[in-house]
Structure 1
Amino acid sequence: MCGRFALTLPVDRLRELFGFRQLPNLTERWNIAPTQAVLAVRQEPDGPAAFPARWGLIPSWSKDPSIGAKLINARAETVREKPSFKTAFQRRRCLIPADSFYEWKTLHGIKQPYRIRFEDDGPFAFAGLWERWLGADGSDVDTCSIVTTDANEILSPLHHRMPVILDSNGFQTWLTGPQNDAADLMRPYQGPRRLTYYPISRKLNDVRNDDASVWEEAPLPMEPEPAAQPKKLADDQLSLF
């Protein structure tokens, strides 16, 4: 799955990679969480366009916007059939830029976060879906979800799922290609770049911590020392008389 990620790179570098002409007002984000606004890229008649979207897809037919908090991820295996996602997959695919994402693993009863990135520290894109939901006040709300698949051999020790990661040669196919071609991209990452990860500060667990300190490498939780056993008394010590 994907429950947190980061985007800290300059907008000019993102424009160069994704080809959008706008100049979004971006700030460095180390701890992007569900229901927050994220940068996304979709295809428009004059080319790729950057736009803000709330992370957590709200289907256009939904009466309750709170459903978005449950739809931050879309499973690749069911995205073409599930009512919440199938229309978005057919018509509204998007790219969600990132430069890191996070996963947790329980060690000795403690949930330890890890930062996952490419060895070159460069940007990449999650395969995303977007929808436009009409609010009760008549306002339009653009929302999005990140597509997930089975973990590859590098990430499987952390978790059995991972986001679908696209290299630049797959961007246009995902945005505008036929459905079958887009579906072929929804697989564990096996591209030319290499993913890596390391344990980081548990400050990441609090979404209010949104600065570079969450990337600090942290020691792994230690196995607790076994409880001391009471000394066994000799038989002559058990007698009161």
Structure 2
Amino acid sequence: MTAIGIYGSRGRMGQAIAAELAGLGARHAGGTDAKDDPAPLAQAADVLVDFSSPAALEAHLAAARASRTPIVIGTTGLSSAHHALIDEAAAEIAVLQTGNTSLGVTLMAQLVREAAARLDSDWDIEIVEMHHRHKVDAPSGTALLLGAAAADGRGTTLAETSVYDRAGVTGARSEGTIGFASLRGGSVIGDHSVVLAGEGERIELVHRADSRAIFARGAVRAALWLAKQAPGRYAMAEVLGL
């Protein structure tokens, strides 16, 4: 039975993943906090799941590479430097990085990509997300994942099309851009809407998370899948065969 280790095991997601493993009767190789040495867990686990913090990612990747242990990275708020480290690690081990491990969000991203590919650039794309008051990064990793899917569908990138800040007299909306709006409040686990607005009509794709268990369930499924893969960088879509 595959042994899964959890980086960030005391956080909300870490606890949810541990509960999911217990419910499945799966092997739990243990967990670590930010202050712990990541190497022993990497050596004990067949595959790692990281929902800790961007500051801890470099050490976690180094430990995974040293022990040749595949790793699922669900930590959000990553920088371009973090992604460069992930690319380096993926040359030696299997790495799955995602802004959201929900199977529903993974399918939603595929639908967003398809819609963006089939509709002209005069259909405006806006992404709205809401999370609990304690979330520290914005836009959410999921919003960025959905935005990247929309950009990919149009044969471009978020770096070229994204708009994150509108305040004051901004002028008319530029065609082809992808806008983001972030809401924070209460205990909302995660709501995401992708709005495709054309002249006289509008399409809205919506995902609402009612429990962190959905992310834990997807993370465990991703970990079990990744444990069997060759070195490389993977995404949740591949777990579903999309």
TM-score grouping bracket, smaller chain normalisation: under 0.3
Q: Please, what TM-score do these two structures have when normalized by structure 2?
A: 0.26
Q: Normalized per residue, which structure has more helix?
A: 2
Q: Please, what TM-score do these two structures have when normalized by structure 1?
A: 0.26
User: Which structure carries more relative contact order (alpha carbon 8 Å, separation 6+)?
Assistant: 2
Between structure 1 and structure 2, the one with the greater Rg is 1
